[in-house]
Structure 1
């Protein structure tokens, strides 16, 4: 399970070293793709296959499903960490997420997310008080 908040740097070649805690799940290969809120989703290759299988169940007659599928998969990139655990982040994804040198990587269970640190801080500040004062069930049976 991928958890926590980490602060790696993007190097001059557009590579990032993901947290050591994530390596056991991600060293065998990863898929990077566009995430929502302008972050990059990081899936293990195995988890991405599971997600893709679920996506394939969406009706092709749904314009929203077609749009999601096109944007989600057209931005996807298979990557393999190098011997120093660096992962190249393709230019199109760096541009999409507005990545600069300072990054925030968060673990959200079945995937990680790569954020530009300033964007993450703005997102967190904007949504934290609503999270802290949430009174309605958001995830059935959990909260």
Structure 2
């Protein structure tokens, strides 16, 4: 499980030091691809394979499923962290998420998200009130 917020930096080659707390779960490899809200999503290989199995079950006649699969897989990059815990973020993905040097890395349960700091701050501020309101919707009766 991934949780917490970290602020590493991309190096001049577009590599990211993964937070130390995340590295053990990603030593076998990972997939980094587009996420929603113009962030990047990092999945462990096991999680990505599980999601792939679920997507295979979607009917190819469903346009939404086809569109989602195309966008997700066309941008995907398989990576293996190096001995220092770094992964390469392809230029096209850095451009998609407006990543330069400073980034925000958040744990999001079964995945990691990589955000441009300004985009994360804006999103986080916009969601703060909704977070309080969503608890009844997500956890009814608690």
Kindly report which structure 2 residues correspond to 1:38-57, keeping only aligned pairs within 5 A, or say none: 38-57=38-57
3-state SS of paired residue (2:106): strand
Q: Which residue of 2 aligns with 1:123?
A: 123
Distance of 2:9 and 2:128 partners within structure 1 = 24
Give yes or no for the alignment of 1:5 onto 2:5. yes
Counterpart position of 2:24: 24
Residue 82 (structure 1) aligned with residue 61 (structure 2): no
- 1:112 is aligned to 112
State the number of aligned residues: 142
1:134 Cα offset (Å): 3.3
1:72 equivalent to 2:72? Answer yes
Write the distance in 1 (CA, Å) between the matches of 2:41 and 2:87. 13
Runs of 4+ in 1 over 4 A off after TM superposition: none
Q: TM-score, normalised by structure 1?
A: 0.93
Q: Secondary structure at the match of 2:59?
A: coil
Q: Give the secondary-structure state (helix, strand or coil) at the position aligned to 2:83.
A: coil
TM-score by length of 2: 0.94
Which structure 1 segments of 5+ residues have no match? Answer: none
Query: Partners in 2 of 1:109 and 1:7 — Cα distance?
Result: 18
Distance in 2 between residues matched to 1:72 and 1:61, nearest whole Å: 18
1:100 deviates by 1.4
Label 1:14 to 1:124 Cα distance change in 2 as closer, same or farther (>3 A): same
Secondary structure of the 1:134 match is helix
**Structure 2 counterpart SS, 1:13:** coil
CA distance in 1, matches of 2:29, 2:98: 24
Q: CA deviation at 1:27?
A: 1.6
